[in-house]
Chain A
Amino acid sequence: MAGDLRRSPLHDWHVAAHAKLVGFGGFEMPLAYPTGTVAEHLACRQGAACFDVSHLGTVEMTGDDAFERLQGQLSNDLRRIGPGRAQYSHLLDEDGSVLDDVIVWWVDDTTFDVMPNATNTSRVRNAIGGRDTTAQRAVVAVQGPTARAVVGAIWPEAAAVGRFMVAPVAWRGTACMVAGTGYTGEDGVELAVPVQVAAAIWQALVDAGAVPAGLGARDTLRLEAGLPLFGHELGPGITPLQAGLGWVVGWDKPLLRAREALAAERERGPARRLRGIVASGRRPLRDGATVLFDGRAVGRCTSGSFSPVLGRGIALCLLDAGPGGEALPEGTEVAVDLRGAHVPATVVAPPFVPLPSPAPIAGR
């Protein structure tokens, strides 16, 4: 592994567990444990999995003007929530492109923890200000239908933090921050804990029955849940409207970046829209593959892999919209060009598998 990668506070645990490590967002992180990506994925859908997501950034915003700065810089409308709540939001370019997607943890009246993608932490910090506290904490996500029961066995106060709620919670006297958020489509919590207690909490979670899962499973889980990934479904040239995330735009805010571009796009209808496609067989669909309808290209896959739950190839894709602004409807039979082979597939509305409600990233 390259020597210039940053390490998680849980690095030693991963090495001792014989995890396969991979460079991601400037960090050396577990791709999979010997359990394997598919078993880790299914553990999260059926029980509880724990993920080290310390590579995510944390930018702490404090002060009387913190609300106004975030409200002016990020797309979503913080007035939809309040202190003690979390909200999904976008940092937009002037043309409406998504520069990053973040989760805002509104801790109290004057304190916010903003969590960008690992590679975008400095970009987000440049836009909103604040203090990069990434190196001071680990972030552990515990996800799955039994996640709260597993967390509750070792840390009841953390397990009690509800969906999209945020609360300061102590671990044996050490101040931590817990949110009812995640990136798998399942219920669960994310625990932001100081470096010195990270290993003890992780070990306690594993002992309580959480299955350690790597970034490989995290990616197939978020894909199966239809959740966007920056650099794939979001990025230069892709607006929230194209990605089907119009609810992330706070139209009623006095100050909204890219308002003109977004309003114009809303008026004429997005030129393309994010859809799901499910292959007829097991072959994994792949990022970048062309989607064909009636023999002509109608879009491309932005993320693709294999759904362990469905046992089929799946992909998110941006499909060209017709004159009425509508993309191909659900149920349309298409083909995906995988290195010259045309794999039959069907257009669907994500998520690809049934998930608990409310919608996984609907931090409204």
Chain B
Amino acid sequence: MDLPEQLRYTTDHEWVSVTGDRIRVGITDYAQDALGDVVYVDLPAVGTVVAAGEVLGEVESTKSVSEIYAPVSGTVLSVNETVTAAPEQLNSDPYGAGWLCELAPTDPSAPEALLDADAYRRLVGG
């Protein structure tokens, strides 16, 4: 299971990367494997304001529906339109081309409170 050291993670199996004052959000390798082939992605509108833990979007496989939760409070800056048309990128490249959206955190230090790679590895029993 691929689990990059430099990322932050949530207990809902999302990853967060921090670049300056914006964060990028996706689902982990563990999550994509558990879901199976992703065939549909529903992303929030740019400008949406979300609180931590609120539903940010939805990821569906042939069999199941999973909600994506905001890892921190913030405003949606951009979404990955490519995965809307090609959701299989969540399976093939979950930490790269399969990213979901970017947020401007309300509190720039909030991501620091998320899980680090070691803590997430323990969570998923890796």
Contact = CB atoms under 8 A, between A and B. Distances in A.
A283 B36 contact: no
B39 A284 contact: yes
Nearest to B67: A339
Interface string A274-311: 00000000111010000000000000000001101000
A31 B40 CA distance: 19
A32 B60 contact: no
Nearest to B85: A282
Band of interface residues on A: 10 to 19
B43 to A, nearest CB: 12
Contacts of B42: 283
A236 interface: no
A283 B40 contact: yes
Interface in B33-56: 36-37, 39-40, 42
Contacts of B37: 32, 36-39
Given A36-B37, A216-B36, A306-B40, A282 B87 contact: yes
Given A38-B88, A282-B87, A283-B42, A20 B60 contact: no
Contacts of B88: 38
B39 A216 contact: no
Interface in A138-196: none
Nearest to A34: B33
Given A20-B36, A283-B40, A306-B40, A37 B60 contact: no
Nearest to A306: B39
A99 B52 CA distance: 48
Contacts, number: 44
B28 interface: no
Given A32-B36, A38-B39, A283-B42, A216 B87 contact: no
Contacts of A305: 62-63
B10 interface: no
Contacts of B91: 36
A216 B37 CA distance: 10
A220 interface: yes
A216 B62 contact: yes
Counting chain B CB atoms within 10 Å of each CB, the highest count among A31, A284, A286, A305 belongs to A284
A293 to B, nearest CB: 24
A308 B37 CA distance: 11
Contacts of B40: 282-284, 306, 313
21 contacts: A31-B36, A31-B63, A36-B37, A37-B36, A37-B61, A37-B62, A38-B62, A38-B88, A216-B63, A282-B40, A283-B40, A283-B42, A283-B60, A284-B39, A284-B40, A284-B65, A305-B63, A306-B60, A306-B62, A313-B40, A339-B65
Interface of B: 36-37, 39-40, 42, 60-63, 65, 87-88, 91
